[in-house]
A and B are shown apart, each in its own frame.
Chain A
Amino acid sequence: MALDSVDFEIEKGEVHCLVGENGSGKSTLIKIISGIHSPDPGGEIYVDGRRISHQKSSNSVREGIQVIYQDLSLFPNLTVAENIAISSRVEARSRLMKWEETEEEAMKTMEKIGVSLDPGREVSDLSIAERQVVAICRAINAKARLVIMDEPTASLSKKEVQSLIRVINELQNREISTIFVSHKLDEIMAVAQRVTVLRDGKKVGVFDASELTQQKLSFLMTGKEFEYTKLPPYLGDVVVLEVRKLSRRDNYKEIDLKVHKGEIVSITGLMGSGRTEFALSLFGMNPPDKGEIFVDGKKINPVSAVDAMRAGIAYVPEDRLQHGLVMEQPVSKNIVLTVLKRILSRIRLLSKVKERTEVKRWVEELSIKIPSVDAPVNTLSGGNQQRVVIAKWLAINPKVLILDSPTVGIDVAAKDSIYKIIRELAAKGISIIMITDEAEEAIYHSNTTYIMSAGRIIGRYNSSELTEKELYEKINEV
């Protein structure tokens, strides 16, 4: 049962957060509210105290319910104005396209929430945050009274999140209600009045946003306590990766960094501090202008991913959907992608048997939960997808594993298992570089924390000696 007798209510002008792990029933609830699914007999929906029949999504649109999906459902090839006004145009059933009216309508809507974008620009030219604004405007223009946003902050920078929150506050001033799906406590605190927590299709409860803490929220969502002990400072002295005065124009400058055998190093800093660019340089995909990289004391000059892999460096990108996995392909084919040479048979053809052995090993080692190794990756949950990517890179036996924001967009329990994997890998002697946005992640799950700002390393700390508040302030100081 996807959803089991859940009560949910939202007031006029309220911002209400909906939280829960993957599979907790959030999506089902959203789909029922928006009329894509109909509830089982006995389930009822009321708008303004009036029961509405909810068989069709057009019904819910008429009641002013608008969903902004994670993919935003925009038309990249059309202008801002056309995107904003499209629902009203389709609804009006007029046969002609009136460009001036469309533009006016779009400008009016944008004014309502205090944003201004060039109505004639194509949406494909906009940033993700700007696209989100367009999606919100479209919802408002369709006379939304309730806007449902499905993890709207997943691909936004901190700054962009701030401006999204401003827009949501503006919606609130106009008495438009918002259901906001998010895992991030700081956002929830900043934007919501109340929080409904779902778990395994059941409602855990409704809470005031102010009474929640990270610990409590994790517990409510998973029913488990996640308590982490800080990792001790790293004590060994076998240097695996050393970077000396590495620079790249417009990216980063004079980076010095040492990573030891089995050490977990986190690099944190604001988005746009040069973290990812630096990491990509280590992986050969963004070659530096100056400076040196050593692996096991040997100088390397990786100018391609293949060079880096040969030197024993693996990189798991942040955007696993775009760069990390072939989504339509089965788990098995994804895992062996980096080691095709190793699974050749005697006559240089791919060996099914060797492939199975290799895949089986990693599926067990990382306890990837899959119906079968032939299941396409896009049918797995976010956490399991992340494990498949990691497996793929572990298959090359790396000395250094770089993880770019490994826990973005996955739920608490999946995060927990990723942390366990990272610790196990480190215990086996693999050095880990973890790029992270979250102060807590750096403090609890790495030995050493480097802080980057404006392309430079501005500090190196033993993670266990930092507190979240301190680190947060250090990151945002500049």
Chain B
Amino acid sequence: MRRSTRSNSGLRKVFGKSEFYLLLVIVVVSLFFTIMKPSFLTFTNIYGMVESNSFLAIMAAGVLVVLISGGIDISFTAIATVAQYVMATIVIQWGGNMFLAFAIGGVVGIGLGLVNALLIYFLRTPPIIVTIATMNLFYGLLIFISGGTWIYGFPMWFMERNLVRFGDSSGITIPILILVLSFILTWLILKYTALGRNIYAVGGNQEAARRVGISILKTQLFVYCYMGFLAGIASTVQANMMLTVAPNALMGRELEVLAAVVLGGASLAGGTGSILGTILGFGLIVIVQNGLTLLGISSYWHKVFVGAIIVISVGITAYQRKLREGKGAIINVEE
């Protein structure tokens, strides 16, 4: 008896979730592009697609965690840019190794994330305001100190991207490895640690979380530092791919990442979202952009399509909610 109700609810869960519909859309869109342009569904294309977007996707994992906790972070691209400059300057000046480069990126990110977390907790100001402010603060100071110059001339060891090669094709590269690791790490944290469940709890009902003894401060500290950490790591990945550091390479892309995460089912109100959803949401946007490029459609149209996808998906979600709530009570009218 219990078994049957459970498997039923399992089914309901699969079909009721936005992840399922996203996957469906991705399959349809991919089919369309494959028919139009068979080169879409080749290993090289897909691999390139994943790799070139890896640094944005890594940051998306951080944004997901922040959104689940009921917060938001606009400053992560500024954090990433600062981390990139610090990392590049140190590595070029004093040398080091790949591990050190990532460690520097990560530590700078955590430091700036800490600033966000403390401001948000102690000023009790909405995180969107705080992080817009810190975005300007971090970025402005960076440009002032660095003069906004580009940085080139990374050491030889930094220029190697491949970890393992399979014959002629590209093997496992650093961006791909870091991407996979950060997704797995985020998934483990969210699903299997007490901390992760506390993040969901705080995002679902902050007051109730406080009442059961969950520390809001600790949770927020972790969430914003983790966002900073991933931003720092992602910026190192991006530097590793581009081999230059430019002040405007990452800035302005924060809303794109945010939109992808929301498309993946995370709510701006907090409490919901999953790493699978984020992969799918982000994936859909990347696939559409890539497909349009292959079809030779001007990149201005990419933005139009991405915007349209987001509006449609948010619209569908809102419509479903309306249907659910609008039904109201059904009364068994006596005939």
The one of A74, A116, A252 in contact with B331, judged by C-beta atoms closer than 8 angstroms, is: A252
Q: Give bound CA distance, A246 to B194, whole Å.
A: 55
Tell me the residues in window 430-478 of chain A with beta carbons closer than 8 Å to chain B beta carbons: 453-456
Q: Give bound CA distance, A273 to B212, whole Å.
A: 39
Whole-angstrom distance from the CB of B311 to the nearest CB of chain A?
Answer: 25
Q: Give bound CA distance, A61 to B329, whole Å.
A: 39
* A274 in contact (CB, < 8 A): yes
A97, B205: Cβ atoms closer than 8 Å: no
Q: What chain B residues lie within 8 Å of A57 (beta carbons)?
A: 211
Task: Count A interface residues, CB 8 Å.
Answer: 39
Q: Give bound CA distance, A250 to B197, whole Å.
A: 41
Q: A73-B205, A120-B6 are in contact. Are A250 and B196 (CB under 8 A)?
A: no
Tell me the residues in window 37-75 of chain B with beta carbons closer than 8 Å to chain A beta carbons: none
Q: A77-B203, A118-B6, A118-B9 are in contact. Are A455 and B197 (CB under 8 A)?
A: no
Q: What chain B residues lie within 8 Å of A95 (beta carbons)?
A: 193-195
Q: Give bound CA distance, A61 to B13, whole Å.
A: 35
* A253 in contact (CB, < 8 A): yes
Tell me the residues in window 280-335 of chain B with beta carbons closer than 8 Å to chain A beta carbons: 328-335
The one of A74, A89, A96 in contact with B192, judged by C-beta atoms closer than 8 angstroms, is: A96
CB closest chain-B residue, reference A61: B213
Whole-angstrom distance from the CB of B267 to the nearest CB of chain A?
Answer: 9
Whole-angstrom distance from the CB of B308 to the nearest CB of chain A?
Answer: 29
Task: Say which size band chain B's interface belongs to.
Answer: 35 or more
Q: Give bound CA distance, A470 to B330, whole Å.
A: 28
Looking at chain B's contact residues, the main secondary structure is: helix
Q: Give bound CA distance, A418 to B207, whole Å.
A: 33
What string of 1s and 0s marks CB contacts (under 8 Å) between A379-403 and chain B?
0000000000000000000000000
The one of B214, B271, B333 in contact with A250, judged by C-beta atoms closer than 8 angstroms, is: B333
Whole-angstrom distance from the CB of B326 to the nearest CB of chain A?
Answer: 10
B200, A78: Cβ atoms closer than 8 Å: yes
* A121 in contact (CB, < 8 A): yes
* A234 in contact (CB, < 8 A): no
Q: Give bound CA distance, A253 to B335, whole Å.
A: 8
* B87 in contact (CB, < 8 A): no
* B22 in contact (CB, < 8 A): no
Whole-angstrom distance from the CB of B184 to the nearest CB of chain A?
Answer: 16
Q: Give bound CA distance, A343 to B70, whole Å.
A: 39
Q: What chain B residues lie within 8 Å of A272 (beta carbons)?
A: 329, 331
Q: Give bound CA distance, A286 to B333, whole Å.
A: 16
B5, A74: Cβ atoms closer than 8 Å: no
What string of 1s and 0s marks CB contacts (under 8 Å) between A106-122 and chain B?
00000000001010110
Closest A-B pairs by Cβ, 8 of them: A455-B333, A77-B271, A73-B208, A77-B204, A75-B204, A454-B334, A250-B330, A274-B331
**Can you name 7 A-B residue pairings with CB atoms under 8 Å?**
A73-B208, A75-B205, A90-B194, A96-B193, A272-B331, A454-B334, A455-B331
Residues of A within 8 A of B (CB): 57-58, 61, 73-78, 82, 86-87, 89-91, 93-97, 116, 118, 120-121, 249-253, 272-274, 276-277, 286, 453-456
- With A75-B271, A97-B192, A250-B333 already in contact, 5 other A-B pairs whose C-beta atoms are closer than 8 Å: A57-B211, A96-B193, A251-B333, A455-B332, A456-B333
